[in-house]
Structure formats: C-alpha cells, structure tokens
C-alpha cells in the first residue's frame, strides 16, 4: 500500500476551500500557518481526556468530524490516550470524512512512550509488559522506567505500527517520543542521550520505510524547566543528536510543550541555549529550525473562566474566556498550532469560531507582559 501523508498541495487547497466556504465558520487566512511546507490550522484538536467507554468514543469521533468541517486539520493523539480508544475514534472520524476531505489534507500526530494498554487499564502492569513486549522481543524488562515508560527503538516502532492500525492510515505525519524526561528519574544523562540517539535512529528507519514523515519530542516539563533541573532537556543537544544520527535532512522537526496564560514559561524564560544565545524554549526552537505545537492551551478547562479583563481586552475582546485563552496561545510568536482538547460538538463550535478572527499582533505580548512586570 502506498504511504499517504499530508501534502503541501492538499493542505493548501483545504485551507483555501475553508476560507472561501459558506459554512458557519469562515476561517480567515491568518488562521493558517506554513509548517514543513504544509498549511496547518492555528487551532489543533487534542484527544487526551475522557472516560474509556463507547459514549466518549462516539463523542470524540463526532468532535473530530465537526472540527475538520470547521476548517481544522491538525489532529493530535497518543497511543495511551484513553487506552488506544482516542486513536480508534480518530480513525472512525477519518473514515466518515473520506468522501469530503482527502487524507492528504490532514496532519495526523501521535505519540509513544507510555504503556498504552488496550481499551482499559491493565490489572497487572508488569504482566502486561512482559506478555506484550518482553516475550515478543520488542523490549527488555530493564527498558521499562517507572513502571510505565519505555522508549527503545523497537518499542517506539511497535507503537507506530499500533497507531497506524488503530487510525487506519498508512503513515503518520508526526510521531513524538512522549515525555522522555520520565527516563531521567532512573538513568543518568549519558545513558539517556544514548537512548535518545538509539530512538532517533529507529525513527529514521521508519521514516525511510514510509511509516512516519516527521518525528519530535512532546514534553510536559523538559523544555520549560531550568538547566539545573534533573529533568531538563536541551533543545540544541537534541538537534545535534538528530544531525549525528540522520544527517542534515533528519526528521526531527517538531516539539510539543505546554503553553498557556497560566504557564507562559516557554515564551518568557530564556532557559535554552541556541546558536550561542540564551532564548526561551519557543524562540530557541524557531532558531534551531523546529516548529512548536502548544499543548494544554486551556489547561484542562481551567482557563475557560476568570480570565482578567485587561487580558481579554488586549487579545481582542472575544466572546468567551475559552476563546481568549486559545487566542493567547495561537497568537504567540513561534507557535504553529494551539492544541485544544475537544470532545463535544459544543466545544468545537465555540473554539473554532476563533478561526474566523485574526490572531493578535506580536506587540500585544510586549504590552501584556510589560504591564505584568509593572504590576
């Protein structure tokens, strides 16, 4: 079967069609960004939270369909989200959309690192890992860290294969190593970098095989904490390892990290070294040729209310606090897409209404944070 990825032509056509459509949501050109030659929406749909039941499965499928019909084309998931059920819900949505939207118009991302289980939590985690990964030769018992995290090349390849099967596609546009900082709780930095290099080598092999188009690192703390933190990740070091493993045309192209009104460190704190400069994680990523996907845009719903009035006014006086919070993330210089968990049609419709608004100007951020410092 020929591998199909998001293409420059199809993503551009998707955006142009959405902008010119007569749908309820009429996205503006500023809603789309160029990334790795593709045209991607500034708001992506996340699929992390929710029960592992058929009702939630169906809601996510409906939400993804509505999101795409509203002009969105960045779909984010992970093998462990809802114990593989989120990937399967996305697969059902893609099949439902098949007569309306080309696969090449969608940018589909998944992650691997945590044990995925199957449909529900395992009653015996050790036995699960032994049965599914040790006995099959995918990983060794000592490769499991903290009872839940593994990132050997063989394990990550198995997760890619599983994700492709769950979603029902031939290739992932982007595959992340999920929270690799979890490894640093048990192994030293030298061993960690050796594991990263081996993982990158395996991912390059799967790029060559046509199973993934790009790969990246998705973290919670790793790129935001200070260099003296035990879980710190150096973006520049990751890029150097990628160059050593894959050469100048390596596939390490994206990072994902939390960024929102309550957690702006990735934009504000100069904790990364890049080309001889001290920069924030987002600025360093851009400087090093990486694109940024921002997770936790609404901080699991906490930023859907009580946004200060001066912030709402600065970001355009939008209708709801949720829209204001997403506007902050998607407008941040250097961010490609703001990922927002959406498992209901109501939330999709509210959040995607923002696609009809232009992003905020960069000057807004200078004024906003200068006001915060003065206060």
Instruction: Write down the pLDDT at residue 23.
Output: 75
Q: What is the pLDDT of residue 375?
A: 39
Average pLDDT in the 35-49 region? 97
Euclidean distance between the first and the last CA atom of the chain, given in angstroms as a whole number: 60
Cα 285 from Cα 196, distance rounded (Å)? 18
Once rounded to an integer, what is the mean pLDDT over residues 24-37?
Answer: 94
- For residue 60, pLDDT beyond 70: yes
Element (H, E) at 86: helix 85-97
Residue partners of 96: CB distance under 8 A and separation at least 6: 61, 65
pLDDT tens sequence across 282-321: 999 999 999 999 999 999 889 999 999 989 999 999 999 9
In percent, how much of the chain has pLDDT > 70?
98
Query: Residue 371 has what pLDDT?
Result: 56
Element (H, E) at 75: strand 74-76
| Plot region of 96 (φ>0 → left; ψ -120 to 50 → alpha; else → beta) | alpha
* pLDDT confidence bin for 373, thresholds 50/70/90: very low
**Chain-centroid distance, C-alpha 341:** 11
Q: What is the pLDDT of residues 256-269, one digit of tens each?
A: 999 999 999 999 99
Tens-place pLDDT, residues 199-237: 999 999 999 999 999 999 999 999 999 999 999 999 999
Domain layout of the chain by residue ranges: 8-374
The pLDDT of 168-195, averaged and rounded, is: 97
Q: Which residues contact residue 108 at a Cβ distance below 8 angstroms, ignoring those fewer than 6 apart?
A: 6, 75, 77, 90, 94, 167, 169, 172, 173, 174
Distance CA 314, CA 296 (A): 21
Are the C-beta atoms of residues 31 and 327 closer than 8 Å to each other? no
Predicted TM-score of the model (pTM): 0.96
Q: How far is CA 170 from the centre of its chain?
A: 19
CATH architecture under which domain 8-374 falls: Alpha-Beta Barrel (3.20)
Closest by Cα among 359, 358, 344 to 45: 344
Q: What is the pLDDT of residues 152-176, one digit of tens each?
A: 999 999 999 999 999 999 999 999 9
Mean pLDDT of the chain: 95
Q: Can you name the residues that pair with 295 across neighbouring β-strands?
A: 258
Work out the average pLDDT over 342-362.
Answer: 95
- Assign 22 a pLDDT band (cuts: 50, 70, 90): confident
Tell me, what's the pLDDT at 342? Answer: 96
161: left (phi over 0), alpha (psi -120 to 50) or beta: alpha
CA distance 186 to 183: 6
pLDDT of residue 1: 59
* pLDDT recorded at residue 374: 44
Confidence check: pLDDT of 93 > 80:
yes
The distance of Cα 217 from the centroid of its chain, to the nearest Å, equals 9
């Amino acid at each position: 079967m020929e591998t199909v990825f998001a293409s420059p032509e199809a993503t551009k056509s998707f955006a142009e069609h959405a902008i010119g459509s007569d749908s309820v949501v009429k996205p503006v050109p500023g809603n789309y960004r160029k990334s790795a030659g593709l045209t991607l929406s500034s708001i992506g749909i996340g699929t992390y939270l929710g029960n592992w039941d058929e009702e939630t499965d169906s809601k996510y499928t409906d939400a993804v369909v509505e999101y795409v019909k509203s002009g969105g084309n960045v779909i984010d998931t992970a093998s462990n989200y809802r114990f593989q059920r989120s990937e399967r819900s996305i697969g059902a949505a893609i099949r439902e959309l098949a007569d309306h939207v080309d696969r090449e118009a969608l940018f589909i991302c998944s992650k691997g690192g945590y044990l995925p289980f199957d449909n529900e939590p395992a009653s015996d985690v050790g036995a699960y890992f032994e049965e599914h990964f040790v006995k099959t030769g995918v990983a060794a018992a000592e490769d499991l860290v903290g009872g839940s995290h593994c990132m050997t090349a063989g394990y990550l390849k198995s997760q890619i294969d599983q994700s492709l099967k769950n979603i029902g596609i031939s290739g992932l546009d982007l595959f992340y190593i999920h929270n690799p900082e979890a490894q640093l709780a048990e192994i030293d930095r030298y061993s960690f970098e050796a594991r990263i290099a081996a993982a990158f080598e395996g991912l390059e092999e799967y790029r060559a095989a046509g199973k993934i188009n790009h790969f990246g690192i998705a973290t919670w703390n790793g790129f935001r904490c200070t260099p003296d933190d035990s879980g710190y990740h150096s973006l520049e070091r990751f890029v150097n390892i990628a160059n050593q493993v894959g050469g100048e045309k390596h596939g390490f192209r994206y990072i994902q990290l939390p960024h929102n009104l309550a957690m702006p460190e990735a934009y504000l704190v100069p904790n990364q070294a890049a080309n001889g400069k001290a920069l924030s994680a987002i600025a360093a990523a851009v400087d090093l040729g990486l694109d940024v996907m921002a997770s936790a845009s609404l901080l699991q719903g906490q930023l859907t209310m009580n946004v200060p009035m001066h912030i709402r006014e600065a970001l355009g006086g939008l209708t709801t606090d949720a829209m204001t919070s997403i506007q902050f993330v998607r407008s941040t210089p250097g961010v490609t897409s703001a990922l927002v968990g959406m498992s209901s049609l109501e939330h999709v419709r509210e959040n995607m209404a923002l696609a009809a608004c232009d992003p905020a100007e960069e000057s807004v951020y200078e004024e906003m944070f200068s006001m915060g410092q003065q206060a």
